[in-house]
C-alpha cells in the first residue's frame, strides 16, 4: 500500500525530502535489528576480557569475527554450504509436494484421513534426528540419506498445516464453485488449495527452519562434505573460534533463506487480507 504524503510547496524538494525520509526509516529499521545483537556481542566480548569465559572453550567475540573473516576469505566453507543448502532444500521440496498432497487428500477423503491421521500424529513428536544413524545404514553416507531425513522432518508439519488449512475452508466458497459447475477435482485445485495456501506456507516456513537443523545434524553424524561436517571437524580439533565462525555463517545463510521465503510468500499471498508486514 502506498501512503499518502502531504505535498510540500516545491515539488523537487518534497521528492528529495521523501527519499531522505525513506532512507532514514531504513537506517532506523536496520538499527533496531542490529542493536540487540550489538549489545549481546559487547557483553560477550566484555566477559572474555574480564576472564569470566575460558578462552579454551568459549572463544571471544572478536576471535570468532576474525575466524569468520578468515573462512570467508579462504572460501572453502561456501563449497560445503552449497551442498548443505542443496540437501535441505531438496528434502524440503519433496516434503512440500508429498505433504501438500497427503494433507489435501486427508481433508477430502475420509478413508485417507482414517489411515493417515494416527501415523502422522505419532510421527509428529518423533525426534527425526534420532533416525539419522539408521538411515545412513540403509542409504549409505551421502546426499540420499541427508535428503531423506530432511524430507521426513519437513513432510510432517506440512501435512498437518495443509490438512488444517484445507479443512477450515469456508463451506460457502465450495458451494459457490459447485453452483458454478466446477467438478470436485476443480474445486480441490481452484478453491481448497488456494484457500489453504496461507496455512500451507506457514507450515513450509517452519519446515524450512527444521530442514537446516536436520541436515546439519545429519552431516555431523556422517558426511564427507557439508557445513555440518565442517563444524564437526573444527569441534573435534578444539578450534572453537572456527567452529563458532562456521555456525555463525550457517545462521546468516538460514536467515537469508527465511527472508527469501517471506518475499515469496508475500508475493503468493498478495491477495490475502492479513498479509501485511511479513515477519
Partner 1 sequence: MSAAIEINNVEKAFPVKDGNSVVALHDVSLSVPAGEFVSIIGPSGCGKSTLLYIIAGFSSFDSGSVSVNGKPVTGPGTDRGIVFQEYALFPWLTVLGNAMYGLRHRDLSKQEQREIAQQHIKDIGLEGFEHRYPKELSGGMKQRVAIARTLACDPDILLLDEPFGALDSQTREVMQDQLLRIWQETGKTVVMVTHDVGEAVFCSQRLVVMHARPGRVKSEVRVDIDRDRPREQVMVSEEFNEIRNDVWLSVREEVALTARTRR
Question: Given the complex with partner 1, which of 150 and 191 has the nearer CB atom?
Answer: 191
Binding of residue 52 to partner 1 (CB under 8 A): no
Residue 181 in the binding site for partner 1 (CB under 8 A): yes
Q: In the chain, helix, strand, coil percent, each to 5?
A: 80, 0, 20
Residue 218, judged by CB atoms within 10 A of its CB (0-12, 13-18, 19+), counts as buried
Using the CB atoms, write b or e for 165-204: b if 16+ within 10 Å. Answer: bbbebeeeebeebeeeebeeeebbeebbbbbbbbbbbebb
Give the C-alpha separation, 258 to 163, whole Å: 23
* Candidate list 5, 13, 46, 170; residue touching partner 1; CB under 8 A: 170
C-alpha to C-alpha distance for 139 and 74, rounded to whole angstroms: 33
Stretch that binds partner 1, among 61-69, 127-135, 209-217, 267-275 (CB under 8 A): 267-275
Q: Is 169 an interacting residue with respect to partner 1 (CB under 8 A)? A: no
104 near partner 1 (CB under 8 A): no
- Give me the least distance between CB of 212 and partner 1, in Å please: 30
Q: Determine the 3-state secondary structure of 274 from DSSP.
A: coil
Radius of gyration over every alpha carbon of the chain, rounded to an integer in angstroms: 24
Contact 192, 108 (CB under 8 A): yes
Q: Is position 189 an interface residue for partner 1 (rule: CB under 8 A)?
A: no
185 touches partner 1 by CB under 8 A: no
- Residues with Cβ within 8 Å of residue 274, at least 6 apart in sequence: 198
The residue among 12 and 185 lying less far from partner 1, judged by its C-beta, is 185
Q: Judged by CB under 8 A, does residue 266 bind partner 1?
A: no
- Per CB under 8 A, 175 contacts partner 1: yes
Residue from 52, 236, 271, 279 in contact with partner 1 (CB under 8 A): 271
177 in contact with partner 1 (CB under 8 A): yes
3-state secondary structure of 92: helix
Q: Which residue from 127, 179, 224, 279 is in contact with partner 1, where contact means CB under 8 A? A: 179
Task: Return the residue of 37, 50, 73, 180 that touches partner 1, per CB under 8 A.
Answer: 180
CA 257, CA 237: separation in Å to the nearest integer?
30
Segment near partner 1 (CB under 8 A); pick from 4-12, 63-71, 104-112, 170-178 = 170-178
> What is the contact mask toward partner 1 in residues 196 to 235, using x (rule: CB under 8 A)?
-x--------------------------------------
The contacts of residue 213 (CB under 8 Å, 6+ apart) are 129
Instruction: Tell me, by CB under 8 A, how many residues bind partner 1.
Output: 23
User: Interface residues with partner 1 (CB under 8 A)?
Assistant: 170-173, 175-183, 186, 190-191, 194-195, 197, 270-273
Amino acid at each position: 500500500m502506498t501512503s499518502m504524503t502531504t505535498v510540500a510547496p516545491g515539488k523537487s524538494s518534497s521528492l528529495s525530502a521523501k527519499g531522505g525520509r525513506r532512507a532514514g526509516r531504513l537506517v532506523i529499521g536496520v538499527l533496531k535489528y542490529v542493536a540487540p545483537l550489538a549489545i549481546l556481542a559487547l557483553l560477550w566480548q566484555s566477559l572474555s576480557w574480564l576472564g569470566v569465559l575460558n578462552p579454551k572453550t568459549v572463544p571471544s567475540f572478536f576471535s570468532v569475527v576474525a575466524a569468520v573473516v578468515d573462512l570467508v576469505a579462504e572460501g572453502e566453507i561456501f563449497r560445503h554450504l552449497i551442498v548443505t543448502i542443496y540437501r535441505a532444500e531438496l528434502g524440503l521440496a519433496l516434503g512440500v509436494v508429498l505433504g501438500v498432497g497427503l494433507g489435501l487428500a486427508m481433508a477430502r477423503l475420509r478413508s485417507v484421513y482414517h489411515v493417515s491421521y494416527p501415523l502422522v500424529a505419532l510421527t509428529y513428536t518423533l525426534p527425526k534426528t534420532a533416525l539419522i544413524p539408521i538411515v545412513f545404514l540403509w542409504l549409505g553416507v551421502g546426499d540420499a540419506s541427508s535428503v531423506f531425513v530432511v524430507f521426513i522432518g519437513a513432510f510432517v508439519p506440512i501435512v498437518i498445516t495443509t490438512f488444517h488449512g484445507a479443512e477450515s475452508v469456508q463451506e460457502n466458497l465450495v458451494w459457490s464453485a459447485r453452483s458454478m459447475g466446477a467438478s470436485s477435482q476443480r474445486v480441490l485445485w481452484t478453491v481448497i488449495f488456494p484457500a489453504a495456501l496461507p496455512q500451507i506456507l506457514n507450515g513450509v516456513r517452519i519446515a524450512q527452519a527444521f530442514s537446516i537443523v536436520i541436515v546439519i545434524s545429519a552431516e555431523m553424524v556422517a558426511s564427507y562434505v557439508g557445513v555440518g561436517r565442517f563444524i564437526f571437524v573444527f569441534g573435534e580439533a578444539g578450534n572453537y573460534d572456527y567452529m563458532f565462525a562456521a555456525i555463525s555463517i550457517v545462521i546468516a545463510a538460514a536467515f537469508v533463506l527465511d527472508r527469501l521465503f517471506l518475499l515469496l510468500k508475500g508475493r503468493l499471498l498478495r491477495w490475502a487480507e492479513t498479509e501485511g508486514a511479513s515477519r
